[in-house]
């Protein structure tokens, strides 16, 4: 089975994300996309809204990013379509601040994330005592409740890396058995379908030792069975070399699972690329 054309990457970080490679400029990202034969790419830097209030990470340089990406857009016009996006984290926790950002900067695409629960640090830096088989189920339950709440924030185009905490739970040796929470996950999938937004297949899981994307293929089957058709692919690259990583394998698998298209969102328009030949 051949893929007709390279699938577009809907989730890439530039050097305007504090944790990305300093060399990941918008120009470097466009050049990498072109080298891979991609026609469209989205730069989606971190804007975790809680950071404005708890200062847990360096703030998102919103003006600088918007201006630099707008300039790169013009420079590469005609060779690659660059979407000025944002990975909006925890929008539901500070909805007014999130709304104010969207009203002023009006990004082409908004990836909605949940990196931290209310009053807690990022799952990345949550203490290892939280990742035990005794404690983690309650954290996971809160995660699913807040993820649903996050989806209620109006303005999200793509639901990002569902199952993010499992990445860290497994690293700490927790079994992270989620079988008891399938009804809650189904509810999340049905909400995504009802809101007509896309579910992200985040391929960083391959690079982070999870052996598959976030969410994994079993959950993607559940999404399909809940009526889900719209999926985007996001490498979550923090360095140019990871753009489009593991897309071929994912597309083949998604095609076999019955997903006919991969979506790319640009100003509410959804561009679809077929997964078969």
Which residues of the chain form contacts with Zn ion (CB under 5 A)? 87, 113, 236
Cβ closer to Zn ion: 17 or 275?
Answer: 17
209/56 Cα distance (integer angstroms): 26
Cβ closer to Zn ion: 11 or 261?
Answer: 11
CB–CB of 39/4 below 8 Å?
A: no
Find the shortest distance in angstroms from Cβ 160 to Zn ion: 6
Find the shortest distance in angstroms from Cβ 170 to Zn ion: 17
215: preceding bond cis by omega (within 30 degrees): yes
Cβ closer to Zn ion: 25 or 204?
Answer: 204
Element (H, E) at 272: strand 269-274
149/33 Cα distance (integer angstroms): 34
Cβ closer to Zn ion: 87 or 108?
Answer: 87
- At 17, list the tokens: 């994300």
Find the shortest distance in angstroms from Cβ 11 to Zn ion: 6
Find the shortest distance in angstroms from Cβ 86 to Zn ion: 10
Q: Phi first, then psi: what are they for 247, rounded to 5°?
A: -70, -40
Find the shortest distance in angstroms from Cβ 196 to Zn ion: 22
53/263 Cα distance (integer angstroms): 34
Cβ closer to Zn ion: 206 or 255?
Answer: 206
Element (H, E) at 126: none
């Amino acid at each position: 089975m051949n893929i007709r054309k390279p699938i577009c990457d809907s989730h890439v970080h530039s050097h305007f994300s504090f944790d990305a490679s300093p060399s990941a400029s918008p120009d470097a990202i466009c050049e990498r996309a072109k080298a891979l034969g991609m026609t469209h790419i989205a730069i989606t830097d971190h804007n975790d809204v809680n950071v404005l209030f708890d200062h847990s990470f360096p703030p998102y340089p919103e003006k600088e990013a918007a201006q630099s990406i707008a300039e790169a857009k013009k420079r590469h016009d005609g060779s690659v379509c660059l979407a000025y996006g944002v990975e909006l984290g925890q929008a539901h926790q500070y909805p007014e601040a999130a709304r104010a950002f969207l009203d002023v900067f009006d990004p082409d695409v908004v990836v909605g994330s949940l990196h931290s629960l209310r009053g807690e640090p990022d799952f990345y830096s949550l203490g290892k005592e939280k990742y035990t088989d005794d404690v983690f189920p309650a954290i996971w339950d809160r995660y699913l409740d807040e993820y649903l709440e996050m989806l209620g924030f109006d303005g999200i185009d793509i639901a990002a890396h569902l199952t993010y905490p499992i990445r860290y739970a497994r690293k700490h040796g927790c079994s992270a058995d989620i079988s008891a929470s399938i009804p809650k996950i189904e509810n999340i999938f049905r909400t995504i379908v009802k809101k007509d937004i896309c579910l992200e297949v985040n391929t960083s899981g391959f690079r982070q030792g999870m052996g598959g994307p976030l969410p994994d293929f079993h959950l993607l089957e559940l999404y399909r069975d809940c009526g889900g058709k719209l999926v985007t692919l996001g490498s979550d690259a923090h360095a140019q070399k990871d753009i489009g990583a593991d897309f071929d394998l994912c597309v083949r698998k998604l095609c076999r699972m019955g997903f006919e298209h991969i979506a790319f969102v640009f100003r509410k328009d959804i561009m679809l690329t077929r997964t078969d030949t």
